[in-house]
Homo-oligomer: A and B are copies of this chain.
Amino acid sequence: MRVAILAHQKFPDRAKTAVGVLRYGDHDVVAVLDRDHSGERVHDFIPDVQDAPIVETMADAPECDALIIGVAPIGGGFEESWRTDVETAIESGCDVVAGLHYFLSEDDEFVARAEEHGVALRDVRNPPDDLTVAEATASEVDARIVLTVGTDCSTGKMTASYELRDAARERGLDAAVVPTGQTGIMIAGWGIAIDRVISDFAAGATERLVQQAGDHDVVFVEGQGAVVHPAYSGVTTAILHGAQPDSMVLCHVAGKEHFGGYERFALPDLSTYVQLYEDMAAPIADATVDAGMVNTRGMDESGADDAIEAVAEEIDAPATDPVRYSADDVLDAVLD
């Protein structure tokens, strides 16, 4: 699928979704829209992802199949300065994909134009309306199911999932990510934002996703939150039991000692987390924590290496930072 990505005035540092799609997406990115950098190229900023021209408006982008909104303003609103680009996309026959709290499909103007031009408006935060309770049958798929779990939110579970997928593909395996959050969904082009699903159906929604990807050799299910997170543990647990993993990878930000936004609460030790995830999984899925992923961003090499080694020791399993180093050892551990 050929896509353009809207990232006005935020590329690359404040355009997490745009960069994620460029790095991990299976799309052919024909252009990035950023009016502050038109005339430059993606490789001028990020050399190790697919390259594309940066253009000023959708009218300047090569022909493509979809426009992805690749930035999320605080609050998740729609910036009116994007309206012309979205309208141009619709009129060119492009679908529009967004992960905003503001739903394009509830904007009367966009809806009317989209109907007229026969294109889809896909709000990835909006869950399907035919979800049901879990049947606890995810583990019946052919694929090996690997779940990334974390010690907190924002520990690198999505990144770990995609890095593991890429490492598996390099070995010739048919691998996929099962996206459970908005950025992961934008990258993969499918998935369900489990945190927006009503509680009764959250495990069922996860199960459906695993089943949709069940024909691959291995799927990496993007986990969310943490099993004892003060606010989001319900999402984590629903994904754990809905996905029925064969293996788990524990993701941690090196040096982090308290829950982000909830600093009164200390993170449990990593060994405690391993026990918690395994004990919680056991009655429903025979999964162990087989590896660790450590986010060492901002550390020097020796500090990062020490941090990774400390995690490996605490969880008694291989660990790495998959952005800094190869994910191969971790992949070996979870495929075993």
- Using CB atoms and an 8 Å cutoff, list the residues of chain A in contact with chain B: 133-136, 194-200, 202-204, 227-238, 240-242, 262, 264-268, 275-276, 279-280, 282-284
Q: Are B203 and A264 in contact (CB under 8 A)?
A: no
**Within the complex, which residue of B136, B232, B235 is in contact with A231, where a contact is CB–CB below 8 Å?**
B136
Count this chain's copies in the assembly. 2
Q: Are A229 and B241 in contact (CB under 8 A)?
A: yes
Q: Which residues of the partner chain B approach A280 to less than 8 Å between Cβ atoms?
A: 227-228, 233, 276, 280
Q: Which residues of the partner chain B approach A268 to less than 8 Å between Cβ atoms?
A: 282-283
- Distance (Å) between the CB of A262 and the closest chain B CB? 5
**Within the complex, which residue of B202, B228, B232, B241 is in contact with A283, where a contact is CB–CB below 8 Å?**
B228
Q: Which residues of the partner chain B approach A227 to less than 8 Å between Cβ atoms?
A: 237, 280
Q: Are A203 and B232 in contact (CB under 8 A)?
A: yes
Q: Are B283 and A265 in contact (CB under 8 A)?
A: yes
Q: Which residues of the partner chain B approach A232 to less than 8 Å between Cβ atoms?
A: 133, 199-200, 203
**Once the chains are docked, how many angstroms separate the CA of A227 from the CA of B234?**
10
- Distance (Å) between the CB of A229 and the closest chain B CB? 7
**Within the complex, which residue of B196, B240, B241, B276 is in contact with A279, where a contact is CB–CB below 8 Å?**
B276
- Distance (Å) between the CB of A298 and the closest chain B CB? 26
Give me 4 other A-B pairs in contact (C-beta within 8 A), A197-B198, A229-B241, A267-B283 excluded: A194-B199, A227-B237, A230-B284, A234-B235
